[in-house]
Amino acid sequence: MSIPLAERLRPKTLDDFIGQKHLVGEGAILRRAIEAGTIPSMILWGPPGVGKTTLARIIATHLKRPYYQLSAINSGVKDIREVIDKASSDSFFGTNYPILFIDEIHRFSKAQQDSLLGAVEKGTITLIGATTENPSFEVISALLSRCQVYVLNHLDKQDLISLIDYAIHADEILKKKKIIVKESDALLRLSGGDVRKLYNALELYVNSVSEDVIEISDEKLLNVVQQKMALYDKTGEQHYDIISAFIKSIRGSDPNAGVYYLARMIEGGEDPLFIARRLLILSSEDIGNANPMALVLANNCFQAVNVIGFPESRIILSQLVVYLACSPKSNASYKAIGSAQEQVKKTGDLSVPLSIRNAPTKLMKELNYGKEYQYAHSYEGNFINAEFLPEELSGTKLYEPGDNDVEKRFREFLKKNWKEKYGY
C-alpha cells in the first residue's frame, strides 16, 4: 500500500515547515525556545491540517529527544501510565527528557488528564498536546497552568499555493508526471486550509486522470474529486464540515436541517457537550436580544447534557435545536463587541471621563474623580444625558439594534433618550 502524499511530504525540519511564521519563523517565540533547547510543556491549538502533529515531531527530532505519541480517541489511563513509566526509564540516566505528544487532547476525560499531571510537574516528560478546541474549556486548569498555549492559524492562500507547487515538483511520484495547474481555486476551497485535505484532493485527482499531460482546472477537479473526497475523510476532518453545516442551518432558521446534522454528529460519536457548547455560543451570537430566553435555555441545555449524558440528552439537544432554529435572529450584540474592539485597537487607552471615574482615595477626590457624576436613578425615567464614552469617541455608535420586536423597542428607547446623539 502506497504512503499518502501528505505523509510523504511531511516536513522534517523547521526550515521546511510552511506557515505559522508567528511561531516558528526566524526569531519567533517558539522557534527561539526550540533552538535554545528549553521548550516548555505546551498545547498546540488550531484547526485541523495546519501542522500540529508535524511540529511536535520536528521538535522531538531537532532536540534529539525520545518521542511518544498517543491519540485521545483510543488511549486510556492505562496507556498513559505505561508511556510515562517508559519515559521515566528513558530519562533516568540523563536530562534528555522524552516528549509525549497527545493528539486531540480535548477528548481526554478529567481522569485521563489528571494522570498526566505528576509527570508534567516533575518534568519526567515534556507534554505536547494538540487540540482543535479552545483549551480554556477542554483542558483542566491544573494541567493548563503547567503548559504554554500556542495558537496555530489557518494557512493562507499563498501558503497553500506554495504547497501545491512543492508537491508537484518535489514528490518522488508526482514529479515523474507532467502536471499543469491552470486553476487552483477549487482545490483551495476543497482543502478548507487543511494541508491533508489539499494533498488528498490533489493526489486523488492526479491518480484519476490517465492522460500524459494532467491539467488541473476548477471544473475538471470538482467533477472528479467531490464525489470521491469522502473516501479520504477517515481522520475526523468531516467533523468540521458537519458542525459548520449544523450552525449555519440553525442560523438560517431551518430546524429540519439542524436536527439532521445533529443526528449526523450523534451517530458519528460526537461529544454531546461539544454540541451543547456550540449551541450556547450560537444562542448569543446569532439570536442575542432578539430572544434573550435563547441563551437561558441553551445554558440549561448545557447543564442538563452534562448531568444526563447520552442517549437521553439527544432529546434535550433536539428540543434546543428546534427552538433556536425557529427563534428570531440578531447578531447586533456580536457586531457591537467586534466594533468596540476595533475602536480600542485603533484608539488605544483613551481617558475615562472624570465624572465616571472611581474615587476610592482622598487624592482622587481632590483631583475631581467622580465629582460631577449624576446618579441616573435620581432623575426622571432613570436617565441622564451625560457623556460616558471618552471625549474622542463621543457620539460613536457601536450597537445597532436588530430588526426584531425586542430590539425595535430597544431602538425606540435609545432614540427617545439620546435624541440625535447616536443616530437612532
Over the stretch 149-167, which tens digit does the pLDDT of each residue have?
A: 999 988 888 889 999 999 9
Q: Which residues contact 356 (CB under 8 A, 6 or more apart)?
A: 370, 373, 386, 388
Query: Could you tell me the pLDDT band of residue 282, with boundaries at 50, 70 and 90?
Result: very high
Q: Which residues contact 27 (CB under 8 A, 6 or more apart)?
A: none
Of residues 343, 347, 368, the one with CA closest to residue 358: 368
pTM > 0.85: yes or no: no
* Domain range list for the chain: 19-151, 157-230, 238-325, 353-418
Question: With respect to CATH, is domain 353-418 assigned 1.10.3710?
Answer: yes
Q: Is the peptide bond before 47 cis (omega within 30 degrees of 0)?
A: no
pLDDT tens per residue across span 299-324:
999 999 988 877 888 999 999 999 99
For cell 526569531, what's the residue? 27
Pick the CATH number of 157-230 from 1.20.1250.20, 3.40.50.20, 3.10.20.30, 1.10.8.60: 1.10.8.60
Query: Could you tell me the pLDDT band of residue 368, with boundaries at 50, 70 and 90?
Result: low
338-363 as b/e, with b when 16 or more CB fall inside 10 Å?
eeeeebeeeeeeeeebeeeeebeeee
CATH class of residue range 19-151: alpha beta
Lowest pLDDT segment from 233-237, 250-254, 351-355 = 233-237
Neighbours of 172 (CB within 10 A): 8
Average pLDDT over residues 284-305: 94
Phi/psi at 271 (nearest 5 deg)? -65, 120
Flag whether pLDDT at 206 surpasses 80.
yes
Query: CA 288, CA 331: separation in Å to the nearest integer?
Result: 6
Query: Could you tell me the pLDDT band of residue 361, with boundaries at 50, 70 and 90?
Result: low
Query: Could you tell me the pLDDT band of residue 252, with boundaries at 50, 70 and 90?
Result: very high
Q: What is the pLDDT of residue 318?
A: 96
Flag whether pLDDT at 89 surpasses 80.
no
Flag whether pLDDT at 376 surpasses 70.
yes
> By the 8 A CB rule, do 197 and 6 touch?
no
Decide: residue 227, CB within 10 A, 0-12 exposed, 13-18 middle, 19+ buried.
exposed
Neighbours of 212 (CB within 10 A): 7
CATH of domain 238-325: 1.20.272.10
Average pLDDT over residues 201-230: 80
